[in-house]
Amino acid sequence: MARKKAEKTENKKAVNSDVEGLRAEVLEQPITETLEVNYMPYAMSVIVSRAIPEIDGFKPSHRKLLYTMYKMGLLTGSRTKSANIVGQTMRLNPHGDAAIYETMVRLAKGNETLLTPFVDSKGNFGKVYSRDMAYAASRYTEAKLAPICAEIFRDIDKDTVDFVDNYDSSMKEPTLIPTAFPNVLVSANTGIAVGMASNICGFNLGETCRAEIEYLDDPDFDIMTVLKAPDFSTGGEIIYNADEMRGIYDTGRGSFKIRSKYRYIKEENLIEVYEIPYTTTSEAIIDKVAELIKTGKVKEINDMRDETDLSGLKLAIELKRGTDPDKLMAKLFKMTPLMDSFACNFNILIAGMPKVMGIREILEEWTAWRIDCVKRRVYNDVQKKKEKLHLLRGLEKILLDIDKAIAIIRNTEEEAEVVPNLMIGFGIDQTQAEYVADIRLRNINKEYILKRTAETADLEKEIEDLEGVLKSQRKVKGIIKKELQEIIKKYEEPRRTSIVYDSDVTEYNEEDHIEDYAVTVFLSKEGYFKKITPQSLRMSSEQKYKEGDSLRCSFRSGNKAEILVFTDRQQVYKIKLSDIADTKASALGQYLPSALGMDEGEAPIWAFDPQGYTGNVLFFFKNGKAAKVPLSSYATKTNRKKLTGAYSDKSPLMSVLQLEGDVQVAVYSTEDRAIVLGSELIPLKTSRGSQGVNVLTLKKQYTLKEARKLEDTEIKNVSRYRVKNIPAAGALLKPEDRGEQQMSIL
């Protein structure tokens, strides 16, 4: 037993030693080495091989899918099951069938993501404008390549682009697809890499091709005269600002607004939204509108529903009687995704390096790349024609003595000697001799040979013309322009996204649509808030509170006013009274901690109307101090709803007074004493967090109870309590000066 126990102890020590050694080994590796060895290769892989498109406008996943479909014969053949395409694509893309099928969905005509889709789909491929309309599984849908793919795969088999091995070296795949038009601008593309992203908006095919033709003629032409603005598959209207758009065209960065299109059906008092921004979905719009209706910010709508069907998108908005549809839509454009922004980031891989470029620079890069593709194609044609010409020249020599050729073949004993004997007999090379030897017996006649050799002159002329193209940049550009003109003629479609100039757009201003009327505000000690009209107060002025609750403060204001609510956590919240529903005195009111989203346990202790943020605010603390802070320090240029550090946190806050000018203030202590002082005795502090100055001289067991404007108190013997210097202990209150201290917040 003792030996076993000793062995156990030794084993445990050995294990602990190994663990410590491993831990030491891990800890010894510098973080810079970990990043360099492990993280950087991953980051570069995501940037170069997944997320950022290249000059052909495709990411690797798009390229692998489309090339697989091309090799399957789906450019001219009939549709096949999507599952079949996905399975075949896995020979190039090992990332799984789900990722491949999602790529196909985005490229499909049925999904409507692209203005110029590359996959001709059949079945349910979902919709880009719907979050919840899911696409069917790949076993239920069918697809083939769209006709436009004839232009992206044009002459791919003529060495126009480089080919590399796939992941297991079992087949070759293209590094780029030789698109005959600037697909990098036509196809919308979004990608998030590591430390960078790309977001390219789509442009109309016809406009893009014309812009490229103009660029080939004059690289300095004004792009905006031809390529007017982006174009989206979901339509909508671009709010066009020329300076904003030119900035995007020049730098490749910036944003512009795009809004929905709608029509008003007067007979049904209904608005139909039939095109929405590319950046949102119908469900997101409906959810936001429902939220606005629930919170009372939009009161003009009876109901909103999604009536999208096979004919396309349709969101129906039922209006209340008397609602102006255009004013309502202007309001919804501002408050919902019915109008959204598209942030451009034209980040493209050029020679394996990410680069953010403007439109002109993209056209320049695409032109240089396309010129290289066309030159490689022409060079490939020249080489093949030269090879054919070389064979025909050998055939010409046979023509001089066909019988001799037959005799050589007949008299040669071994098959392997036929080609060498022909080479010796006619002075031709091995390639020519192989060609002659392979001619069928029925073609060994003068007619056949004369027809073949008659092609020689034509081939020589074609080779001369093609070599002339290789030497002339102008002729190469002419070929590109001709191909672009053919594409415009075959595939151009009208713009889907309209252009509306920003000068013609009237933005919704909420302030202009808020009705202004007098209201009285009530805040209870437990945080219940009421906004009551004078008419409602006249009908019933008796306020209802929860048991044990009572009034904290009350003041008059207007429905368009913005009020400040101070809490016991040194925070101040801003409320627009127009956002609070009118109520009656008999109601409890709105519970502010919930309505304003206050922190847990936080409670409101005072509220007032800042009235233009002029004047000052006086804070009175339990320790007998008071601080005067300018109201302007609570004004903000942005629509911030909450400010922290609203006042000092050194002692509990007991009272808050708003001052337009200097006033007389009565300050009470728990010793039943009071002082009356002019507010000018308290110095103005620039910092909101100031502790202030002592106003009361307090005995150890007493504290400051509250402070009120003298005019709001019952003090009759003012001279008894008036002080000219602070701090002061004050005088004991006489019975006639006590009154009802209903404004206490204790």
Cβ pair 683, 691 in contact under 8 A: no
For residue 382, the SS3 value is: helix
Q: Each residue of 423-462: b (16+ CB within 10 Å) or e?
A: bebbebeeebbbbbeeeeeeebeeeebeebbeeeeebeeb
Q: Which of 245, 279, 254, 242 is nearest to 345 (CA)?
A: 254
Which residues, listed in sequence order, are joined to residue 565 by a DSSP beta bridge? 573, 607
Q: Each residue of 535-570: b (16+ CB within 10 Å) or e?
A: ebbeeeeebebeeeeeebbbeebebebbbbbbbeeb
Peptide bond into 727 cis (omega under 30): yes
Alpha-carbon span 206 to 192, nearest angstrom: 29
DSSP letters, 95-137, are: S-HHHHHHHHHHHBTTTT--SS-SEEEES----TT-SS-PPPP
Alpha-carbon span 312 to 664, nearest angstrom: 70
Alpha-carbon span 602 to 184, nearest angstrom: 54
Burial class (CB in 10 A: 0-12, 13-18, 19+), 469: buried
Q: Which listed residue (140, 167, 501, 517) is catalytic?
A: 140
Cβ pair 319, 266 in contact under 8 A: no
Using alpha carbons, list the distances in angstroms from residue 222 to 214, 245, 246, 252, 498: 9, 13, 10, 16, 21
Alpha-carbon span 631 to 502, nearest angstrom: 37
Alpha-carbon span 261 to 274, nearest angstrom: 6
Q: Which of 168, 166, 195 is nearest to 67 (CA)?
A: 166
Using alpha carbons, list the distances in angstroms from residue 490 to 147, 200, 303, 330: 10, 25, 44, 39
Q: What share of the chain is helix, strand, coil (3-state, %, to 5)?
A: 40, 20, 35
Alpha-carbon span 578 to 591, nearest angstrom: 16
Return all residues near 255 (Cβ < 8 A) that are at least 6 apart.
Answer: 244, 248, 341, 342, 343, 344
Half-sphere exposure of 633 (CA within 13 A, CB side): 18
Integer-rounded Cα radius of gyration of the chain = 41
Alpha-carbon span 444 to 399, nearest angstrom: 10
How is residue 247 written in tokens?
Answer: 């900035």
Alpha-carbon span 605 to 573, nearest angstrom: 11
Residue 101 catalytic? no
Cβ pair 667, 730 in contact under 8 A: yes
Q: Which of 51, 64, 59 is nearest to 91 (CA)?
A: 64
Catalytic positions: 140
